[in-house]
A and B are shown apart, each in its own frame.
Chain A
Amino acid sequence: MLPAVVGMFPFGVVCGVGAVTAGASPLAALAMSLIMFSGAAQIIAAQLIAAGAPFAVIVLSCFVVSLRFLMYSAAMAPYLRPLDHRWRNLLAFLLTDQAFAASIHRLRASDDPRAGVSYFLGGGVVLWVMWQLATLAGIFLGSVIPPEWQLEFVVPLCFLALLAPLLRDRPTLVVIIVSAVSAVALDAMPMRLSMICAGLLGIFAGVVADRIGVSGD
């Protein structure tokens, strides 16, 4: 989970800077990270608040980018079933892109579900704490990182590191190609709907590829 922390830290700094720039007090800027705990939603909320958008538009836009959590939630569900509901409720709060992508392999690969769940819990707590520290750095130190370093590129690289190893069979290749082409082709959609639509098209293509037997490893 350490690599995931490296990936999200610059993102958290950007969220802190963005919130303050949008006119949030330091406490409110930190509360965004404490409560919303979603970089994509926080950036969009900050941009829309700065642009003077109405409340309904802000909430709807954040909801659209958070639709992916529905999918993550469904994918995690079978592994969290044996747990007490209080644990499920806590673990759900820790469900982020990084925690999901880093943990789902372990959960699938491991015979002992507790090992995977422990990894998700431990990693999720570390990510949440580091997210707050990164936000605080952004709030109080500002853009400490010179923009020409382009450190924001660490974020896609971190996701790429989780994505590339998944490419071990042909249906996954189909998923990646369809999802990539759709994400670019649909980019002009409003409210970043392209992300969730591209994901859904990729998943659909993967199911079709499984069915028609685009097999081979």
Chain B
Amino acid sequence: MTKAQLIWLVIVVVGAVNYAARLSFIAFFARRDIPPLLAEALKHVPAAMLTAIVVPAVVFASPGTLDAGLSNPRVLAALVAGVIAWLWRNTLLTIGVGMAVLWLTRYLVG
């Protein structure tokens, strides 16, 4: 198999797998009721998954290198941005303030 063939095969197979995962329960629960315990658990999906995506992107300086202290500009930027988001629920403001804190810290610390 050439590299080009491998890439196209990956695109088609992963595309199909992704679509199947996306459609899975939307199709499954279209005709069935969701069990109450599962519905209760699903309530927590956004908070749990967003945290699992965001936290490693902030606290790992490079893959495998944990730096969760305030000496890491990303941690400081994320904390400030998190407070802004919590108070005002404004995504553009959150991104703007977060990037400003990141750049300012890098500039000051050098």
Is B45 within 8 A of A157, CB to CB?
A: no
Inter-chain contact total with CB atoms closer than 8 Å: 277
B109 lies within 8 A of chain A by Cβ? no
Rounded to whole angstroms, the CA-CA distance of A4 and B92 in the bound complex is 9
Contact A206 B41 (CB under 8 A): yes
State whether A63 and B17 are in contact (beta carbons under 8 Å apart), knowing that A25-B4, A156-B58, A165-B89 are contacts in the complex: yes
* 28 interchain pairs, CB-CB under 8 A: A3-B92, A7-B91, A25-B4, A36-B14, A36-B15, A49-B10, A55-B6, A58-B10, A69-B18, A80-B26, A80-B30, A88-B30, A89-B23, A89-B27, A97-B49, A159-B50, A160-B50, A167-B47, A184-B68, A187-B64, A187-B66, A195-B53, A195-B56, A199-B49, A200-B48, A202-B44, A202-B52, A207-B40
Which among B28, B77, B94, B99 has the greatest number of chain A C-beta atoms within 10 A? Answer: B94
Number of residues of chain A lying within 8 A (CB) of chain B: 92
Closest chain B residue, CB of each to CB of A40: B53
Residues of B within 8 A of A (CB): 1, 3-4, 6-15, 17-19, 21-30, 34, 37-60, 64, 66, 68, 74, 77-78, 81-83, 85-86, 89-92, 94-95, 98-99, 102-103, 106
* A176 pairs with B47, CB closer than 8 A: yes
- Say yes or no for A100: interface residue by CB 8 A criterion: yes
Q: Are A165 and B85 in contact (CB under 8 A)?
A: yes
Give A residues with C-beta under 8 Å from B.
Answer: 2-4, 6-7, 22-25, 28, 31-32, 35-38, 41, 45, 49, 55, 58-59, 62-63, 66-78, 80-81, 85, 88-89, 91-93, 95, 97, 100-101, 104, 149-151, 153-167, 171-172, 175-176, 179-180, 182-184, 187-188, 194-196, 198-204, 206-207, 210
A198 and B59 CA atoms in complex are apart in Å by 15
CB of A48, distance to nearest CB on chain B (Å): 9
Q: Are A184 and B59 within 8 A (Cβ)?
A: yes
Contact check, A7 vs B95: say whether CB atoms are below 8 A apart: yes
